[in-house]
Amino acid sequence: MAQQHPQPGLARCYQHQERETGVRCTRCDRPICPACMVPASVGYQCRQCVRGAAVASRAARPRTLAGGRVTADSGLVTKVLLALNAVVFLAVLARGDELVVDLGMVGHAADGGTIFAPHWIGVADGEWYRLLTSAFLHQEVWHIGFNMLGLWLLGPQLESALGRVRFVALYLLSALGGSTLSYLLADERQLSLGASGAIFGLFGATAVLARRLDYDMRPILLLLAINLVITFTWSGIAWQAHIGGLVVGSVVAAGMVWAPRRTRLPIQMAVCALVALAILVACLVRTNQLVG
């Protein structure tokens, strides 16, 4: 059998040098063999160009002010949080004080047992989940009503500006910040509950966002001032949770909306991580004070 020689003038595939081809990528003009061809609207493209186009397409998608993805329903997370709070409220009504005692925010207290062998509950006893679960508990209609009204008014705008993931981080860290300051400063036997810490975090974040966009800050500052007056004048309000949520929400929002575009994500992640670390250290110090 006669030996076949390569046809003169045919190029070799840029990925498979042993293969000759007469087809070139319509985007980069490199020769490509059938294994490297991806059908395009006109001709074929190489896999590398197709991957590059996909990355460029993702990068070109519209982003929120903080770099999150723009979604069709910018209030979805807010609605989920509203529904979650409502479901827990119904569960509290059904089970009475039992659920409140099991999930409410308390530092270190005796619950039942005997004087010689009390049953201890609270964050200091290892029940760290209370820092977060307490932020979804409400007993009175007026309490959940005020908090959910604040969430409904502030949530969608912040969610639209930050994006869903960042908004969730803001909300949860604000809730934890409120519980942590209560743990640090309030009587360790005091039982508290409610989403107020998270809501005050949204107040702080809204003020930061208004400053970032150069909006008139007087409405949000007036609303915040009214809520602070209520916080310190009404009895039975855990002001520590309000202030803790306000401070954490302001710090987290500032890190999200003021981060430079080129290094936005690393800075945002670092701010959230540092806030979470500060919360952890504060809780460890307080726990050591109570049971160390």
| Active-site amino acid positions | 196, 242
- Of 207, 142, 135, 212, which Cα lies nearest the Cα of 171? 135
Dist CA 263 CA 256 (whole Å): 11
- Three-state SS at 10: coil
- Three-state SS at 22: coil
Q: Token digits for 178?
A: 């409120």
Task: For tokens 């991957």, name the residue.
Answer: 51
Dist CA 132 CA 53 (whole Å): 42
Q: Token digits for 85?
A: 């709070």
The stretches of 186-238 forming alpha helices (DSSP H) are 196-212, 218-233
Half-sphere exposure in the Cβ direction for 82 (13 Å, CA): 16
Dist CA 155 CA 129 (whole Å): 24
Q: 255 phi and psi, to 5 degrees?
A: -65, -30
